[in-house]
Every structure is written in structure tokens, then in C-alpha cells.
Structure 1
Amino acid sequence: MSHQQHTLPGQRPGVRRYVVASLVGNALEWYDFFLYATASAVVFGRLFFPSDIDPLVGTMAAFAGFAVGFAARPLGGIIFGHIGDRLGRKRALVMTLTIMGISTALMGLLPTYAQVGLWAPTLLILLRIAQGIAAGGEWGGGVLLISENSSDARRGMLSAFSQGGISLGFVLSSLVFFLVQLMPDSQFMAWGWRIPFLLSVVLLAVGAYIRFRLPESKEFTAVSETKQHKLPVLAAIKTHPREILVAMGLRVAENGGSYIFLSFSIAYGVHVGVDKGLLLMAVAVSMLVSFGTYIFFGHLSDRIGRRPVYALGAIGMGAMAFPFFAMIDSNTPAVVILAFLVANGLCHGAMIGTQPAFFHELFSAEVRYSAMAIAHELAAVFAGGFAPLIATALLLQFGSSFPVSLYVIGLVLVTLIALVFSRRGIKAENRDSAERTVQNVP
């Protein structure tokens, strides 16, 4: 049987290898990154900040460190976008995984506030910055491993597997935290919470092995040295300014809304008396289901176009802004799990499953890594990075989820405006290619 017969319809020979590598590598890297988000809601506020403050204030302080990590992501996007566009996607991705894995493992060794005072939150935030730099270079490279090696007809579906790795990373981090928090609280707070972070050493070894053995992206190797830019970041800003702004706008609801529904929702649930084990399980279940919905919506975008699917997700997220918190308030396990399934699996899933192919088609190959990283990570700062902090501040000020729901709707409106302009933002040649893709799908 020929090699071609082993591939899926619409694939180039060997693309399955890139799909697996991107999926596994992203899962391991984002496991590390999401650990901080979960620990911020459950542990860090109590252990790394003064014990004589309101627990909600401690959680806010931990989420402030969460935001700092996001603020570092554009720097990582610039650094590794440059490396990815100049030296190759593979080299950049091995470096991001190494930095992320080491930083996460070191978090598991940190002393607490009771032991070293202000050094505890200071060291925690420094390591979070390192995580942010690594994450800033990860997403674009993980996406391009697949999108630059897949055919036009199946780019949406195949590229969505990279996002599936993110969902699996979240599931893995939530599941490990769920298991260790079953320990007696005294043991969990004393040392049990460190286990998920220390496991990062093992995951780093697995991920690095996979990426070292990976061939370079086909589209990158096809770009001649004469077309490469000495400073790809500046070239991307000069040649694709509108597209970068459009991509940033598309990120606002997807990224900001997801961190409210994933990270802040845990703190909110604990605040209103919902068992934290139920909340962590609900997140894990919704993200596990999301793996399938990402692929489905990526496939749907191949059939009917990127914009309609993305709009469906954004509108759905706005519609869930108020019901989501009401369902958590019910403190009924089935209802709480359903809230996460709808908000994360369907609404968020429609946007994030479509996003890799959507962004790929906005930019040309010689600056694609840098352009995608700039747009993705700059938006992450003010959308996802500050969302849990702003939501917690609103809850602290008003004692209600009502203003948080309004905030979610505001994020959605920004993304819908970006969608209106996205048609004009896509380069003509890429837009025509995308339209031919839909027309050629049987």
C-alpha cells in the first residue's frame, strides 16, 4: 500500500505526523500554563499572600500574577516569532517547551509567604513571567506545524487539532488538581498542591523528544532566503497592519470570555458555596468534550466559511453571559456541569476551533509566525490576562455576577465588530483561496 493511501482525504503525505506532534506538544505545554490558573483560584491566594486579608482579595492578588504572565506573552511572541520565521518553527517550539517546563517545575519548589514573606509572591510572579514568554511563542508555532502542512480543503479541521492540544492540557491540569485536592486539606495545602507542578519535569522530557524528531514545516522550507526578513516582526506590522488588528479583535471574546468561564468561574463558585471539586470536575469534563467540538467547528468552517462559525460562537457566548452564573448559583451538579459544557464546549469551541485556519489565511508565510504571535498575544494581555482580575474586582465591589455578565457581553461586542471588518482585512489572494477551498469541498 502506498504512503498516500495511509493519509486522510485532503492531507499531504506526512501531515498526520505534524498533527500528532502539535497535539501532544501543545497538551504538555498548556498543561504547565493552565496549572497557574487553577492554582490561583484554589491555592495561591492562601499560601503566597498574607493570611490576614479577605480570601477574595488574596485570590485577586493571585489573579494579578496571572495577568502579569499574560503581559509577558507579547515579548515571547516577538522573540519566538523572530526565531520561527528566521530559523524555523521546530527550533522555536523546542525552546518554548523547555522554558515552560522548567518554570513550572520550579513553581512546585517555591517557599510560601509564611516561610519567606514577600519573596514568595515575588518569585512566583517571576516564574509566571517566564511561563508567559514561553506561551507567547508556543501558540503560533503549534498551529503552523499543522496549517502549513495541510491542504486548503481540510485546513480548518486539521488545524483545530492544535487547539485540541490546549483543551487536553487544561483537562490534564484540572484532573491532576482534582485528584490531589481529594487529599485531606492540611496535606493538600502543605505539599499536595506541589505534585502537579513537579510532574512537569516528566512531561518536558516527553514533549522535547517528540519535537526534536519533527521535520520542519513545508511552507517554511519553501520560503527562499531572499524572501526572509531580517526583522520579521517589523515586516509583519508594516505589511499586515489591518489583519493584525482584526485578529486581535477576534481574540477578545474568545480569550477573555474563556478565562472568565474557566478560571474566574472556579473562584466565583467557591465564593457562592459550590464545592471546588465539582467545579474542577465540571471544567475538566467541558474541556474534554471541547476536544471534539473544536474539531467539529474547524471542519464546519471548511464547509461554510470561517466567519459564520466564528460569529455563531461569539453570539452564543453573549447569550450565555447571564445564564452561566445563574446555573452555577443553583449548586446542582448536573446544572453546573451543563453550564460549563455549553459555555466552553459550544460557544468558546466554535471560535477557538475556527481560529487557527482563520488566522493562517490572514498572513503570508514569510512573516506568518510573527504576525500571528503579535496579534494572538497582544490581545491575550487585555482580553484573557485581565479578565479574571477584572471579574473578581467587579464581584468584590458589587457582590453580584451581574456586572461580570455585562463585561462578557462587552467582550463579545468587540469581537463581532472585528468580524464585520475581517472580510476587508484578509488579503485578496488569501480570501480567494479560502473561497475556492469551500467551493472545492465535496
Structure 2
Amino acid sequence: MDGTTVTRTPKKAALASFMGSAVEYYDFFVFGSAAALIFPTVFFPDAGNAALVMSFATFAFAYVARPFGAVILGHFGDRIGRQKVLMFTLVLMGAATFLIGCLPSYDAIGWVAPALLVLCRLLQGLSAAGEQAGASSLTLEHAPDDRRSFFTSWTLTGTQGGQILAALVFIPVVALPDDIKYSYGWRIPFWFSALVVVVAYFIRRSLHETPEFEEAKANNEIVKLPLGVLMRDHWKDVLRVICCAFIAAVSTVFGNLAIAYGVLVGLNESITLWLVVAANAVALFTQPMFGMLADRIGRKPVFIYGALSSAVLMPFYLLSMSQDNELLTFALAIATFSFGYAAANAVWPSFYGEMFSTRVRFSGMAIGTQLGFLMAGFAPSIVTGLGGVQEGGWVVTAGFTAVIALIAAISASTARETKDVPTAALGLTTRRAQRVEAATA
């Protein structure tokens, strides 16, 4: 490293990633909850299913922006460093979310209102495009070789914390009288984001750049055009990540579609939000455990288990919502999300990140995941349009979940297992990796 010494701080990196992700995905999931429960009334003139479809479409617009944000933020993340880009994404997400809370309704300014909503949502998408890839890259490169999956799992555990906070904030909102709820009550969770952004900003700004990136910089290994190197050397891995990332649609099915479906079949709005809180709260504990398991037995078996178990458990969860047995519904919500999907969710930051070298890791993760996440973004609109939020719609939703989970599992099965590969050798050609492994043995 030409005399350059950089200290690894895995715990600090994991904490900063957890807090940053929690803030970013508080903002992101607040929008998702509002899209299911508030926006059809506030921003659209039509009643019923048409308004819900349009509302879910605004949710999806962020996922359209994310691939473009991935290219831009991935480029700078691999050029100037992970930490600087992560500071930018944090501020951008907070500003966009606060502005949503200030928007006038459709009754006030007509179609300009949903247009402004879409614009703010696009800014949220640009921010989110770099957040998880950057935080995962940063934590992975700070972590010791034998605990990468555990430490990087905290990035996604932060997203669960954000979703818990978003749901908890919305529970009292949906309990308000309609005249308050649909006028200013729904705005409070969006304004509240300004406070949590400030807290996360001060935590994240004290974190140093990663040792791997600093070493590449000291050795003049930073590439001018990361995208070009990525497409030349890692295009197969990008495609693999895209297909594996379809599994994220399980989260939007669980956190958005299931809320709308539950209300349809008679569950109280507050109960549907408490289901999200309970499942994500348990996932705060199960995801690090799945991360530790992946450090012992490998990334692939844990990820594949998470994908397939999501497909198997989802129909039982949806069916339970109409059985007038809230205890059963809570148990199946926790089983589906916390002990099923959580396995894949915990492992993908290390699983995807270890497919790429340091020179293009941020770009590879960002572009691959954000293209794959398009499926997650459009899942609510697609499934709602197909009748998933109607009587008997659980069949459509469960079938959709099974298809995307199977695609993710098959794609994961084609990947190389990397749990025993030193960080410095990740993503390299076989010959170069062997030289690095020999030097670090």
C-alpha cells in the first residue's frame, strides 16, 4: 500500500450503515404506507381500485429513477469513495421526503399535485439507488474476511428499523378522524424525517473511507470509467444480481400489497401496520443470525432458503387475513418475513458485493440491484391490476411471489460461493485471485 495504513472499523461501519439505512428507508417506507392508505384519497380524483393503482404507480416511479441513480452514484462511489456518496444520498432523501409533506392536494391544484408527488418520489429513488449498495460496500470492505456476511447484514437490518419506525408513526395517523388525517395528519411523518436525517448525518460523517478503497487509490487502481470495466469483466455477475434482486419484491408484497389486501378482507388498518411492525421487529434479530449462518455455511444456501421459503409461506399468510384469527395472522407474518424472506435479505449485501472487485463494487451492486428492484417497485401496481387486491386476490399475489422467488433462487444457484475468498481477491480473475490468496495466506 505504499506505506499507507488504514484501520478497519467494522463495528463503526455497521452502525453507520444501520443508521443511514434506517433513516433512508424510514423515508422510503413512509411513502409506501401512504401510497396504500392515504394518497388514493389525497392526490387522485377517482375512487376505488383505479385510485389505488395510480397511487401504487407513484410508488413505482422511484424504482424507475433508481437505475439512473445507480449509474451516476455508482460511478462516483467507485471514483471518489463510498463515504462521500453516502452523505449525499442521506441529505437528498431527507429533503425529498420533507417536501412531500408540504405538497398541496388534488383538490387544491388538480393534476399538478400528483405530478409534484412523482417528482419528489423520483428524487427519493435517486437517493435510494446508492444507499444500500454504498453502505454494503463500505461495511464489507471494513469487515474481517470471516465475518463479512454478519457485518453487512446490519445494512439491511437498518432498513427493517426504518420500516418499523415508519409503521409506528403511521399507526396513530390512520386512527385520526378523516378530516384531520387527510388534511394535515398524514404530513407529520414526512416532516418528522428532517429530525432523523440530522441524527444520522452526524453519525455517518465521522466514518472513514474503507481500507480497500484507500489501498486501491494509493496504488493508482481507481478506474476512470467504472461502468466500462464492469460491463467488460463482470457482465455475467450484473445479470445474476439483477435476477437475484427480484426477491426484493417479497418486501413490497408484504409491506404494501398485503396491507391493502388485509383492509379489503376486513382487518383494521392499524392491525395491518402492526403486522409490519411485528415482522420487522423480529427480523432485527433474525437477520444478523442469518448473516452469521452464512459466514459458516455459505451465502448461497441461506439466500436460496430465504427465497423458496418466502414462496411457500406467502399464501398461508394472505389466507390467514380472512380467517378472523389475528394471532394466527401475526404468527404467519413473522414466519413469512422474519424467518423466510429475512434470510435472503440479510445475506444479499455480502452475496452480491463479493461478486465484484473493489474497483467496481459500488457500481456493480448499485446497477445490478436497482435494475432487479424494478420488479419490487412495480409489484404493487402489477398485482393490483391483475386483481390481487380483490376478493380471492391472494391467489394472484401468492403466484406472483412464487415466480419471482423461483427466479431469484435459480439465479443464486449459478453463483460462485465466496465465503472463504479473502476480501482482496473478491471479483478477480482466477489467476489473480490465486496470487492474492497465496500472498494473504
**1:373: which partner in 2?**
366
Query: Is the contact between residue 307 and residue 405 of structure 2 (CA under 8 Å) also seen in structure 1?
Result: yes
Is 1:111 the counterpart of 2:104 in the alignment?
yes
The aligned runs of 1:37-52 (5 Å cut-off) are: 37-50=32-45
The aligned runs of 1:19-38 (5 Å cut-off) are: 19-38=14-33
TM-superposed deviation, 1:396 = 6.1
**1:120: which partner in 2?**
113
**2:228: which partner in 1?**
234
**1:384: which partner in 2?**
376
**1:8: which partner in 2?**
none
Matched residues in 2 for 1:101 and 1:312: separation? 35
Matched residues in 1 for 2:158 and 2:88: separation? 18
Matched residues in 2 for 1:31 and 1:231: separation? 33
Query: Is the contact between residue 46 and residue 55 of structure 1 (CA under 8 Å) also seen in structure 2?
Result: no
Q: Could you tell which deviates more after superposition, 184-193 or 256-265?
A: 184-193
Describe the SS at the equivalent of 1:226.
Answer: coil
Matched residues in 2 for 1:218 and 1:17: separation? 13
Matched residues in 1 for 2:313 and 2:376: separation? 18
Matched residues in 2 for 1:405 and 1:430: separation? 36
Q: Indicate how the Cα distance of structure 1 residues 183 and 335 shifts in structure 2: closer, same or farther if over 3 A, else same.
A: same
The aligned runs of 1:33-432 (5 Å cut-off) are: 33-50=28-45, 53-224=46-217, 226-252=220-246, 254-381=247-374, 383-395=375-387, 399-400=391-392, 401-423=394-416, 430=426
Q: Indicate how the Cα distance of structure 1 residues 101 and 422 shifts in structure 2: closer, same or farther if over 3 A, else same.
A: same
Describe the SS at the equivalent of 1:423.
Answer: coil
Instruction: Give TM-score, length-normalised by structure 2.
Output: 0.91
Structure 2 counterpart of 1:94, one-letter code: M
- Give CA deviations for 1:184-218 in whole Å, capped at 9, x if unaligned: 23211221110000011112212222222221111
Q: Indicate how the Cα distance of structure 1 residues 149 and 427 shifts in structure 2: closer, same or farther if over 3 A, else same.
A: closer
What is the alpha-carbon root mean square deviation over aligned residues? 2.2
Matched residues in 1 for 2:81 and 2:361: separation? 12
Query: Is the contact between residue 56 and residue 396 of structure 1 (CA under 8 Å) also seen in structure 2?
Result: no
Matched residues in 2 for 1:307 and 1:396: separation? 31
TM-superposed deviation, 1:344 = 1.1
Is 1:16 the counterpart of 2:8 in the alignment?
no
Describe the SS at the equivalent of 1:229.
Answer: coil
Query: Is the contact between residue 242 and residue 425 of structure 1 (CA under 8 Å) also seen in structure 2?
Result: no
Matched residues in 1 for 2:338 and 2:305: separation? 13
Describe the SS at the equivalent of 2:208.
Answer: coil
Query: Is the contact between residue 362 and residue 427 of structure 1 (CA under 8 Å) also seen in structure 2?
Result: no
Structure 2 counterpart of 1:261, one-letter code: F
Describe the SS at the equivalent of 1:109.
Answer: coil
TM-superposed deviation, 1:398 = 6.8
Gaps of 5+ in 1: 1-11, 438-442
Query: Is the contact between residue 32 and residue 101 of structure 1 (CA under 8 Å) also seen in structure 2?
Result: yes
TM-superposed deviation, 1:267 = 0.8
- Give CA deviations for 1:414-436 in whole Å, capped at 9, x if unaligned: 112202311399999548989xx
Structure 2 counterpart of 1:387, one-letter code: A
Matched residues in 2 for 1:54 and 1:43: separation? 12
Q: Could you tell which deviates more after superposition, 61-70 or 221-230?
A: 221-230
Structure 1 counterpart of 2:379, one-letter code: A
Structure 1 counterpart of 2:24, one-letter code: E
Query: Is the contact between residue 34 and residue 173 of structure 1 (CA under 8 Å) also seen in structure 2?
Result: yes
Matched residues in 1 for 2:283 and 2:172: separation? 21
TM-superposed deviation, 1:174 = 0.6
Matched residues in 1 for 2:314 and 2:190: separation? 32
Query: Is the contact between residue 321 and residue 406 of structure 1 (CA under 8 Å) also seen in structure 2?
Result: no
- Give CA deviations for 1:134-169 in whole Å, capped at 9, x if unaligned: 000111111122111011111111110111100000
Q: Percent identity?
A: 32
Q: Indicate how the Cα distance of structure 1 residues 132 and 397 shifts in structure 2: closer, same or farther if over 3 A, else same.
A: closer
Describe the SS at the equivalent of 1:395.
Answer: coil
- Give CA deviations for 1:208-249 in whole Å, capped at 9, x if unaligned: 222222211111111136321111122212110111111111
- Give CA deviations for 1:311-341 in whole Å, capped at 9, x if unaligned: 1111101111321211112232212212221
Q: Indicate how the Cα distance of structure 1 residues 424 and 177 shifts in structure 2: closer, same or farther if over 3 A, else same.
A: closer
- Give CA deviations for 1:241-292 in whole Å, capped at 9, x if unaligned: 111111111111x211221111110011111121010000110111111111
Matched residues in 2 for 1:95 and 1:18: separation? 17
Q: Indicate how the Cα distance of structure 1 residues 425 and 417 shifts in structure 2: closer, same or farther if over 3 A, else same.
A: farther
Q: Could you tell which deviates more after superposition, 178-187 or 413-422?
A: 178-187
Q: Indicate how the Cα distance of structure 1 residues 217 and 307 shifts in structure 2: closer, same or farther if over 3 A, else same.
A: same
Structure 2 counterpart of 1:390, one-letter code: I
Q: Indicate how the Cα distance of structure 1 residues 398 and 265 shifts in structure 2: closer, same or farther if over 3 A, else same.
A: closer
Structure 2 counterpart of 1:173, one-letter code: A
Structure 1 counterpart of 2:32, one-letter code: A
Q: Indicate how the Cα distance of structure 1 residues 291 and 21 shifts in structure 2: closer, same or farther if over 3 A, else same.
A: same
The size of the alignment, in residue pairs, is 421
Structure 1 counterpart of 2:224, one-letter code: K
Matched residues in 2 for 1:196 and 1:322: separation? 31
